[in-house]
């Protein structure tokens, strides 16, 4: 479509519309599984608090194991076929859980295996998807595209978590996995319908150590740049706290507060509405106060409300959970919208896949650590003290942004420039990336 075409991006860009539908369907299914799998572990398999935390961690452990080389592989290959393969693998894995239950094979180790394998597929999908979007959209459309994708992901999370709780109450938590499998099938069909074809990837270097040099280029890009380094360190610290609290959420609400599975799903859906609000507010706040200041507002200002969550009790006390979770969700999604647009404009296109994988290795790699920490704290100290510790970590992580160049800026930069103003060159894979500190 021409840049001057009228109407919103979803109306005028068919391929983006299909990507949006496929991504939204996948996020819906993931949200269903995020509620259904812990409920299966708690209500069907009588899993311990630590086992529930381990189940949450298993989804993200692949980022620590293969996150770095996947970025280099993605930069060598076309991204859409990788996404198609990842979605196609997820369909039978999720459908296999209720089938295994009917055959009498359902167990905590089986759930852990499914979480590990679908998490591995998710590493490939997320890395390829992040690098694919800039090839599909013009640069001026990317902020709108990111906002729509993050907003729809939050909306899908609302519907998925609500549906996960309703399905668990109506038909059993195990059957919720069938809905998850169907949504990944929809995602697969939508991605297959995209007409845009990426240019053939450059021929990969076959000299010994080429893959290690490509991985190193992404890590050096982050370590040598104050903006990328700050955002990556913050995201890693924040994710430890976020996943620590989220790994305890279902167990806390069921066993400590005494809520039913259906109500747990409804509360999770209510909390996720904050993500939709954050996605819509991100661009407006950035236009009004600047992208750097908006990042501080969302990632530090709203994060303080996380301290309301441990105050949750039965009855009207569940409003503490809703209010605190709403603000945290809004801040996280708005921050993700701003960060995604920043990285896609700031990073050289040929290094975007490696940047995504390197930063994801550090930030997503922190998620299983947070889940294991949450499970360990819940087992050692009890659920409510563990919730206090993990939720307090969310605003504390925001201090990384406060004591960084972001606090002294109105806007995040849009290109990598040294003090003299000239554009920094793209550094070959076997040489270090050098960026001056402001």
Per-residue model confidence as pLDDT tens for the chain (438 residues): 344 444 567 677 888 888 888 888 888 887 788 778 888 888 788 888 888 888 888 888 888 888 777 877 777 778 888 889 999 999 999 999 999 989 989 999 999 999 999 989 988 888 887 778 777 877 777 777 776 776 677 667 666 766 766 776 676 778 778 888 888 999 999 988 888 777 665 555 555 455 566 667 777 888 888 888 999 999 999 999 999 998 899 889 988 999 887 788 778 778 878 887 888 898 899 999 999 999 999 999 999 999 999 999 989 999 999 999 999 989 998 998 888 878 877 876 666 666 766 777 788 778 888 989 998 999 999 999 999 999 999 999 999 999 999 998 999 987 765 433 333 333 333 332 233 222
The predicted pLDDT at position 209 comes to 56
- CB 43 within 8 Å of CB 347: no
> Cβ–Cβ contacts within 10 Å for residue 211, how many?
16
pTM: 0.69
Q: Which residues make Cβ contacts (< 8 Å) with residue 397, sequence separation at least 6?
A: 234, 237, 238, 240, 241, 303
Q: Residue 237: how many CA atoms within 13 Å on its side-chain side?
A: 18
Residues 88, 90, 94, 100, CA torsion sign: positive
The rounded distance, in Å, linking the Cα atoms of 129 and 83 is: 7
Q: Which residues make Cβ contacts (< 8 Å) with residue 125, sequence separation at least 6?
A: 26, 82, 83, 86, 87
The predicted pLDDT at position 3 comes to 43
What the chain holds in terms of domains, given with CATH numbers, is 12-195+214-408 (1.20.1250.20)
């Amino acid at each position: 479509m021409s840049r001057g075409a009228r109407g919103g991006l979803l109306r005028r860009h068919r391929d983006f519309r299909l990507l949006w539908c496929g991504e939204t369907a996948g996020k819906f299914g993931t949200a269903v599984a995020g509620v259904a799998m812990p409920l299966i572990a708690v209500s069907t398999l009588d899993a311990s608090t630590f086992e529930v935390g381990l189940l949450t961690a298993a989804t993200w452990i692949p980022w620590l194991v293969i996150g770095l080389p996947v970025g280099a592989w993605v930069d060598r290959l076309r991204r859409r076929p990788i996404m198609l393969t990842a979605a196609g693998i997820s369909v039978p894995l999720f459908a296999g859980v209720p089938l295994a239950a009917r055959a009498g094979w359902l167990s905590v180790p089986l759930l852990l295996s499914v979480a590990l394998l679908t998490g591995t597929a998710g590493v490939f999908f997320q890395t390829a998807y992040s690098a694919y979007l800039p090839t599909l959209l013009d640069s001026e459309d990317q902020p709108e595209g990111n906002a729509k994708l993050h907003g729809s992901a939050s909306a899908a999370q609302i519907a998925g978590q609500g549906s996960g709780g309703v399905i668990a109450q109506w038909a059993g938590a195990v059957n919720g996995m069938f809905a998850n499998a169907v949504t990944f099938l929809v995602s697969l069909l939508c991605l297959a319908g995209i007409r845009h074809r990426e240019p053939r990837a450059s021929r990969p270097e076959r000299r010994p150590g080429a893959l290690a040099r490509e991985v190193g280029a992404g890590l050096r890009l982050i370590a040598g740049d104050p903006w990328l380094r700050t955002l990556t360190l913050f995201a890693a610290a924040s994710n430890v706290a976020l996943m620590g609290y989220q790994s305890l959420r279902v167990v806390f609400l069921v066993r400590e507060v005494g809520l039913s599975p259906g109500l747990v799903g409804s509360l999770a859906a209510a909390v996720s509405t904050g993500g939709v609000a954050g996605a819509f507010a991100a661009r407006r706040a950035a236009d009004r106060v600047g992208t750097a200041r908006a990042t501080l507002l969302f990632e530090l200002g709203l994060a303080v409300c996380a301290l309301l969550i441990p105050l949750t009790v039965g009855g009207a006390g569940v409003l503490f959970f809703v209010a605190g979770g709403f603000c945290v969700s809004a801040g996280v999604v708005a921050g993700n919208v701003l960060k995604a647009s920043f990285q896609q404009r700031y990073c050289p296109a040929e290094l975007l896949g490696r940047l995504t994988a390197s930063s994801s290795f550090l930030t997503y790699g922190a998620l299983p650590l947070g889940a294991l920490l949450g499970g360990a704290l819940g087992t050692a100290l009890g659920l409510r003290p563990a919730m206090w510790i993990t939720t307090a970590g969310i605003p504390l992580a925001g201090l990384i942004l406060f004591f960084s160049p972001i606090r002294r800026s109105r806007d995040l930069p849009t290109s990598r420039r040294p003090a003299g103003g000239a554009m920094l060159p793209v550094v070959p894979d076997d040489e270090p990336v050098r960026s001056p500190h402001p």
